[in-house]
Amino acid sequence: MNTAETPVLADYCIDVARRARAASMALGLLGTEVKNRWLVKSVEFLVERSEKVLAANQRDLANAPGYGLDSAAIDRLRLTDARIADIASALRQIASLPDPVGEVIDGNRRPNGLEITKVRVPLGVVFFIYESRPNVTADAAAICIKSGNAVILRGGKEAIHSSQAIIECLQEAAEATGLPQDSVQFIETTDRDAVGHLLKLDQFIDVAIPRGGEGLIRRVTNEARMPVIKHFDGNCHIFVDQQANFEMALRIIENSKCQRMGVCNALESLLVHRKIANEFLPELNAKLASYPIELRGCENTRRIIPTAKAATEEDWGKEYLGPILSVMVVDSLDEAIEHINRYGSKHTDAIITNDLAASRRFTASIDSAAVVVNASTRFNDGGEFGFGAEIGISTDKFHARGPCGLRELTTYKYIVQGDGQIRT
């Protein structure tokens, strides 16, 4: 980038962030009705102007080969009438969710008569950085606004025209319904340095949320001066215990691994108790035969499934996001727990067992956002948890862990009410 432009870009970023902060102060005081009215009006505008949005999307699709997008990425980029209807339906769904702002979380009256209330309030300003899926533009904006936060959106250059067309609908809906101006802002430049500038502005921005590949997330985490809600990867495990129902185990493994391979809650590594390995692994191999899945096993696995490739140390820590599954035979529940806590991503890990003690020990000992018993790892998801909407999944322990919906974009403050109390 031309160095003469740097101050201009920095100034632009400061201006955007400052305006977001101002909008957030007004937004935090806004009633639920205005926010919902904005959501409904946004849906109206999106549907009314779908031709314009689709035309903008055509421009992005035409540019896609130039960005080297593969067919899967191009498919994610593509908008259709059906996909616009999906966006509209997501926004309507968010309108129907309860407003988290103002919820009284806790409270008590102190012996001196002071009344202390812990009340849920918005975080303030969210900086949301995402890659090429244009539907995320509307979805993320809706979640941020419904939870009372102003949002600065930075979408991928591959979807810039689509995102801008969607943002226009959201911003005009804001004007039409009295949502504070600058509640939803979109970074117009595709200059990568804009992200760097914004990540420094912790006096205006309360949280950064990156969604995309690990490279993006590492960059944001390294550069951000404000807290970040994120997960790097999802190296999710299933442990098939000695008292597992085989039919159930096979069904859950198939679903966890094969229903959608490229997502963070898909199965990546299977652990099998030594006592059942001889019997179970051939059945697993047969079950997965209809899928193009490569097994990478430990020595014991390969004795039982000779077609499995040899797993290396690196495999145990790896999120494949594709048709590979690492398989290890373990001597005990404790070995499984230790392995998962060592190599896992603290994302989603499951046990298949009918042994109550083993289940209790597993759920207590596994240090992950979601610990699953006798169900698919794919259930670690805001929608499946009943949150109604999700802006991401966190594998951190600080602030929010697991799926992040409306509540996870809030904080609280204490209101202390008295009638003249002083401290003695």
Binding site for a second copy (CB under 8 A): 25, 28-29, 108, 110, 114, 116, 121, 123-124, 206-207, 227, 245, 248, 251-252, 254-256, 259, 341, 359, 363-365, 367-376, 378-380, 384-386, 396-399, 401-402, 411-423
Nearest distance, CB of residue 124 and a second copy, angstroms: 7
Shortest separation between residue 67's beta carbon and a second copy, angstroms? 32
Which residue, 137 or 376, is less far from a second copy as judged by CB?
A: 376
Q: How far is the CB of 359 from a second copy (least distance, A)?
A: 8
Nearer to a second copy, 166 or 337 (CB): 337
* Least CB distance to a second copy at residue 402 (A): 5
Choice between 331 and 334, CB closer to a second copy: 334
Please state the closest distance from residue 102 (CB atom) to a second copy, in A: 9
**71 versus 424: smaller Cβ distance to a second copy:** 424
Identity of the residue, 139 or 254, whose beta carbon is nearer to a second copy in the bound complex: 254
- Counting beta carbons within 10 angstroms of the beta carbon of residue 290, is it exposed (0 to 12), middle (13 to 18) or buried (19 or more)? exposed
- Cβ 393 vs Cβ 264: under 8 Å: yes
In the bound state with a second copy, the residue whose beta carbon lies nearer, of 78 and 318, is 318
Calculate the alpha carbon distances from 182 to 28, 331, 372 in Å: 13, 58, 41
How many other CB atoms are found less than 10 A from the CB of residue 332?
14
- Which residue is it, tokens 């790896």? 318
Q: Please name which of 352, 144, 369 lies closest in space to residue 256, comparing C-alpha atoms.
A: 352
Instruction: Name the residue among 180, 184, 170, 181 with its Cα closest to residue 40.
Output: 170
* Contact in structure between 378 and 238 (CB atoms under 8 Å): no
Beta strand 104-109 with 115-122 is: antiparallel
Q: Three-state DSSP class for 94? A: helix
Please give the C-alpha separations between residue 172 and each of 79, 139, 358, in angstroms, as whole numbers.
21, 16, 56
Smallest gap from Cβ 179 to a second copy, in A, equals: 18
Indicate the burial class of 140 (C-beta count within 10 angstroms; 0-12, 13-18, 19 or more). buried
C-beta of 91 vs 123, nearer to a second copy: 123
Q: CA 173, 387, 167: angle at the middle one, nearest 5? A: 20
Any bridge partners for residue 108, and if so which? 116
Q: Least distance to a second copy from the beta carbon of 62, Å?
A: 35
| Smaller CB separation from a second copy, 72 or 422 | 422
Least distance in Å: CB of 399 to a second copy? 4
- Toward a second copy, which CB reaches closer, 56 or 228? 228
Residue 323 C-beta: closest distance to a second copy, Å: 18
Kindly tell me which of 20 and 43 has the beta carbon lying closer to a second copy.
20
Between CA 232 and CA 219 the distance in angstroms is 11
Question: How many whole angstroms separate alpha carbon 285 and alpha carbon 122?
Answer: 49
- Of residues 206, 146, 208, 214, the one with CA closest to residue 179: 146
Sheet holding 125-130, edge to edge: 184-186, 150-154, 125-130, 207-211
Question: By the 8 A CB rule, do 185 and 163 touch?
Answer: no
Q: Which strand (E) or helix (H) includes residue 389?
A: none
* Order of strands across the sheet that contains 267-273: 309-310, 294-297, 324-330, 267-273, 236-240, 348-352
CA distance 344 to 287: 25
| Shortest Cβ 412–a second copy spacing (Å) | 6
Query: Read out DSSP for 160-180?
Result: HHHHHHHHHHHHHHHHHHTPP
Nearer to a second copy, 25 or 289 (CB): 25
CB of 376 to a second copy, least distance (A): 5
